[in-house]
Structure 1
Amino acid sequence: MAQMDLHPYLMFDGNCREAFEFYQNIFGGEVNFMTYGDLDGSCPAGVRDQIMHGTLMGGSVEFMGGDAPEGMPLGAGKINLSLSGFEEAALREKYEALSQGGTIVIPLDRQIWGDIYGAFQDKFGIDWMVDIRTA
């Protein structure tokens, strides 16, 4: 079977541009945006500059997202983005940077299963898990 790509698609409440620029500073890569105004120049002025579709590609992670159209629910919070690997220093750095201004749910610490693990919600309301593998 051919490999497929799975990219998280993050929905925001009007602050997609700010969030993607924040993530780009942490992960690198290239950000591209298409606004609602780019798609339809006759859209209401209040949404013209909001992001209809954005991508962060070519860095250490890749994902897509946009500002939710008015009346569209943002989701039920059933998704967590998970960063994992063996590079402790790099993953600790990502945990610290991404959690700035957010809410720590589980402090980054050694867990009963042996890995170093932590969880938080970033300042944009996105839930993250970081797992530093030890074996």
Structure 2
Amino acid sequence: MASRLDPGDNITISLSGDDAGELHGYWEKLSAGGKVNVPLEKQMWGDEFGACVDQFGIPWMVNIVQPQS
């Protein structure tokens, strides 16, 4: 039996980098009108991380790498 294709339910797009301003901007646009699953905030591993589904049903992960000391 073939399953029905639901666009966006078979991938997750990940954005990662150290440009906090740019990545926060992407997060604001991606999460607007969508659903935030994990708020973009500092995580136990030290980076900022968030996960959302945009208004079109596409899952996204954003990871903002923190400078190493």
TM-score, length-normalised on structure 2? Answer: 0.84
Deviation >3 Å, runs of 4+: none
RMSD: 1.6
| Residue 82 of structure 1: aligned partner | 14
Amino acid at match of 2:55: K
| Residue 110 of structure 1: aligned partner | 42
The Cα of 1:119 is off from its aligned counterpart by: 0.4
The Cα of 1:105 is off from its aligned counterpart by: 0.4
Amino acid at match of 2:41: D
Unmatched runs of 5 consecutive residues or more in structure 2: none
Q: Structure 2 CA distance, aligned partners of 1:100 and 1:76?
A: 17
Q: Structure 1 CA distance, aligned partners of 2:10 and 2:41?
A: 23
Q: Structure 1 CA distance, aligned partners of 2:9 and 2:18?
A: 27
**Deviations 1:3-49 (CA, angstroms, capped at 9, x unpaired):** xxxxxxxxxxxxxxxxxxxxxxxxxxxxxxxxxxxxxxxxxxxxxxx
More relative contact order, 1 or 2 (CA 8 Å, 6+ apart): 2
Given that 2:12 and 2:60 are in contact with CA atoms closer than 8 Å, whether structure 1 keeps it comes out as yes
Unmatched runs of 5 consecutive residues or more in structure 1: 1-71
Q: In the comparison of the two structures, how many residue pairs are matched?
A: 64
Query: Given the alignment of the two structures, is residue 91 of structure 1 paired with residue 13 of structure 2, yes or no?
Result: no
The Cα of 1:75 is off from its aligned counterpart by: 5.5
> Radius of gyration: which is bigger?
1
* Alignment CA distance shift 1:105-1:91 (3 Å): same
Q: Structure 1 CA distance, aligned partners of 2:48 and 2:8?
A: 27
| Residue 131 of structure 1: aligned partner | 63
Amino acid at match of 1:123: Q
* Alignment CA distance shift 1:75-1:93 (3 Å): closer
